[in-house]
Amino acid sequence: MARKPKVHYEGALYHVIVCGTNRDFIFSEADMKQLYIEKVIKYIEKYRARLYAYVIMDNHVHLLIEVSDKSLSKIMQLIQ
């Protein structure tokens, strides 16, 4: 069953969780974590969103993002 589309409006704040399959590691090295946050920042800036907080663990990521006129799904597609 498909998920319902998220409600989008400018200024909406989202807590995003990105997990590895079966809780497997998605970042095996610190360099990979650094590259991931650089990619997050690139698209956050490109789409004029705001990143308030983030936590990058070995097997998942938490992001607190405020969106502008572009939807969260568009930003996350490019990051992932």
What distance in Å separates the CA atoms of residue 64 and residue 76, rounded to the nearest whole number? Answer: 12
In this prediction, residue 7 carries a pLDDT of 75
Higher pLDDT, residue 3 or 12: 12
Mean pLDDT of 58-74: 93
CATH number, domain 13-79: 3.30.70.1290
Higher pLDDT, residue 7 or 62: 62
The domain limits of the chain are 13-79
Task: End-to-end CA distance of the chain: give it in Å, rounded.
Answer: 22
The secondary structure of residue 59, as a DSSP letter, is S
pLDDT tens-digit series, residues 15-62: 999 998 888 888 888 899 999 999 999 999 999 999 999 999 999 999
pTM for the model? 0.86
